[in-house]
Structure 1
Amino acid sequence: MPDRFATIFTCIDGRIQQPLTEWMKNHLDVEYIDTITEPGPEAVLAATGERCLEVLLEKVEISRRAHGSGTLVIAGHSDCAGNPVSDDEQRTQLRRSLDRLAERLPGTRILAVHADRCGERCWAPLLVAEVTSAPADVRLAP
């Protein structure tokens, strides 16, 4: 039986919403997606100050608490008006975001995904990196 919910940090750009939702439903075997949007989310999550990051993480906590979401996807995309840098730089920001969130979201599966433009109306989400952080009650050996 699939998990019911997963959470996504994604861009406000409407072109990528459906391809990312379909990718998540197919690859994560979930029914519903709780969506948190920010222009250029990978840049925001990679470099924002602690106070702003805490506000964003509160939204993830609502999804976790209310819907039992144990998976978070951070998604960037080509041709982003909110983060107009190269795809390679966006992928670097996605990895940085993943690392930054993994230490703050114990027991969460976190995936970084980049939607590459493959045509006028085509966006192909590709996995950049993935981590499952240790649960809060597990101590890792030094």
Structure 2
Amino acid sequence: MPDRFATMFTCIDGRIQQPLNEWVRKHLDVEYLDTITEPGPEAVLAGTGERCLEVLLEKVQVSQRAHGSATLVIAAHSDCAGNPVSVDEHRDQLRQSLARVAGRLPNTRILAVHADRCGEQCWDPELVAEVPPAATGVRPAA
């Protein structure tokens, strides 16, 4: 039986929503997705101040408390208007985001995924890095 909920922290760009939803449901075997959106979420999580980070993580914790979500997916895409940087920088920011939030969300599996340019349709998202529950370091995707 699939887990019921996962939480996603993703870009506001509507083009990434459906491909990301499909990827998460397929790869994580979940039914429902609680979604938190920000322009350039990986840059926000990697570089925002402590108070703003606490506010964002409280949203994740609402999903955890209310729906039992034990997985957080942080998603980025290449042609992001809110974070117009290179693919390598998106990936670096995703890894920084994971490292920054891992210790603040105990017992949470955290994945970073990246989709190529969206254009008319996003390419399939790919796993960049993952932090298993209760881990202290970021593990690159295999």
Q: Which runs of 5+ in 2 are unaligned?
A: 136-142
Paired position in structure 2 for 1:13: 13
Does the residue aligned with 1:121 lie in a helix, a strand or coil? coil
Contact kept, 8 Å, 1:115 with 1:124, in 2: the verdict is yes
Alpha-carbon separation, structure 2, partners of 1:119 and 1:60 = 29
The one-letter amino acid paired with 1:46 is A
Alpha-carbon separation, structure 2, partners of 1:15 and 1:57 = 24
Does the residue aligned with 1:18 lie in a helix, a strand or coil? helix
TM-score, reference length from structure 2: 0.92
How many angstroms does 1:124 deviate by?
Answer: 1.5
- Higher gyration radius (CA): 1
TM-score, reference length from structure 1: 0.92
Paired position in structure 2 for 1:123: 123
Q: Deviations over 1:91-114 (max 9, x none)?
A: 000000001110100110000000
Paired position in structure 2 for 1:139: none
Paired position in structure 1 for 2:112: 112
The one-letter amino acid paired with 2:14 is G
Is 1:4 the equivalent of 2:4? Answer: yes
Q: Tell me the matched-pair count.
A: 135
Paired position in structure 2 for 1:35: 35
Paired position in structure 2 for 1:47: 47
The one-letter amino acid paired with 2:68 is G
Is 1:76 the equivalent of 2:48? Answer: no
Judge which range, 126-135 or 60-69, deviates more.
Answer: 126-135
How many angstroms does 1:118 deviate by?
Answer: 7.1
How many angstroms does 1:119 deviate by?
Answer: 6.4
Larger % of strand: which?
Answer: 1
Provide the aligned C-alpha RMSD in A: 1.3
Over the matched positions of the two proteins, sequence identity in percent amounts to 81
What aligned pairs does 1:53-92 form with structure 2 within 5 A after superposition? 53-92=53-92
The one-letter amino acid paired with 1:11 is C
